[in-house]
Amino acid sequence: MIPEKPIHTRTLYQGKIISLALRDSRLQDGTLVKREIISTPGAVVIVPLTNRREVRLVKQFRVAAETWVIELPAGMLEPNEDPALAAPRELLEETGDRAATWRYLGKFYTAPGILDECLHLYLATDLTPGPNHPEFDEHIKVMTVPWSEALAMIQRGEIEDAKTIAGLTHAGLRLNLPFG
């Protein structure tokens, strides 16, 4: 049973990649509450793993954090886009890699208390490297690190991006890769 019922939702802002809505809902006891909801089309996250168990990461300048962030390759979905089609595009764009083998590892939400964004996680293997093709306003440096080093980077606090920590953890568990 859903503990609250939406009554009315109005869009406060509609941007290129997000919208912000204010929703009035009624709780089971009749109490009215207001919910702020940020919506996106979702995104894909890719764990590119070489045959030598190295992970391809990107170091990207992130404007909101005002710093360089080490991440797995990822990208927003176009509205109603199939994530399986977006993942190869984003891998090629950010790393220059093409993968012969793709495996869907599942999905997860980034901040479901306020954000409906769903991230679809893919494993990309049998990689063929090439030059990356970032968008005109993206600043990306490609990194290749051994699996154990990627995990050590999380432990040392060098990888602070939640989707990357979740993606590497999930992939490691699914593939029975060593954690330390």
Residue 172 has phi, psi (to 5 degrees) of -60, -40
Could you give the CA distance from residue 40 to residue 71 in angstroms, rounded to a whole number? 20
| Active-site annotation holds for 138 | yes
Comparing C-alpha atoms, which of 171, 174, 132, 175 is closest to residue 154? 171
In order of 15, 114, 118, the CA distances from 56 in angstroms are 31, 30, 22
Which 3 state secondary structure label does DSSP give 158? coil
Element (H, E) at 11: strand 4-14
Q: Write out the DSSP string of 93-133.
A: HHH--EEEEEEEEEEEES-TTTB--EEEEEEEEEEE-----
User: Beta-carbon neighbour count of residue 57 at 10 Å?
Assistant: 26
Among 93, 138, 149, 160, which one carries the catalytic annotation? 138
**Residues labelled as active-site residues:** 138
